[in-house]
Structure 1
């Protein structure tokens, strides 16, 4: 017994093909686009200033993280550190966009953006000073000091 051949699939409809042609006339070459590192626009002085202003705030937060790490657990301390970092990161992005699109003579959005960036730097510095070394020791040796 031979099964009947499978039915052919229906023919697809007509294809929609679009072609785009860019014509560059002599003497009208497009401007070269800047490289990705030139488009980053990292404001080094602004970030260093915010990080310097965040130093006094990072000490108490690092102490809180160390207390949570010692009294509860390392995972709890990382959770306690990452949640504010995520919230501050999102808020920093929103404040930066708000300041970029504000009128040039308005200082409020720029001050709020700088304060949020300072708080983000404080959380980053506190997390970096309190948790990674202890985590590396714990992961590599399995012994809690």
Structure 2
């Protein structure tokens, strides 16, 4: 209150929108706009007092290794593997070693994929349904029979052939 009069810098008529302010004079182009931040990934863990977190399953449960189930399938597969082993030995002796490996690998790959599908089907089925579990066990048994027949018929001769170049 120094006694100086106040002079308006602009006069805005009633009802007219105010004009936007004049940007300050810059030398050069305007500064680039910073990039938009990406989506945020926020994880929230709520721990209630007195509530304990669920225990984690043991390592053998996390790996889904079922020893008794696989051992049972293996025992049943042992006698079932003999006809396939005989067929592989016959192809190996009469045709070629590569032909025997090809004949062994195609059913192994198909059975492995089918075993995986049946296992997932059984795991997702209702606990009271037995048919998916039986199909999964039969497929696992067939896979074990193919593996046993292949392992007992081909690797020894393949290693001998690769090391010596002579067919035993």
Normalized against structure 1, the TM-score is what?
0.80
Please say if 1:66 is aligned against 2:98. Answer: no
- Partner in structure 2 of residue 81 of structure 1: 104
Shift of 1:61: 0.4
Normalized against structure 2, the TM-score is what?
0.69
Shift of 1:32: 6.5
Higher helix proportion (structure 1 or 2): 1
Please say if 1:16 is aligned against 2:37. Answer: yes
Q: Distance in 2 between matches of 1:26 and 1:117?
A: 44
- Relative to structure 1, the CA distance from residue 137 to residue 12 in structure 2 (aligned partners, 3 Å threshold; closer, same or farther) is farther
C-alpha RMSD of matched pairs (Å): 2.4
Q: Distance in 1 between matches of 2:54 and 2:154?
A: 47
Q: Which has the larger radius of gyration?
A: 2
Q: Which structure carries more relative contact order (alpha carbon 8 Å, separation 6+)?
A: 1
Query: How many residues are matched?
Result: 135
Q: What aligned pairs does 1:1-145 form with structure 2 within 5 A after superposition?
A: 14-17=35-38, 18=40, 20=42, 33-34=56-57, 37-145=60-168
Q: Distance in 2 between matches of 1:19 and 1:89?
A: 38
Unaligned runs of 5+ in 1: 1-10
Shift of 1:41: 2.0
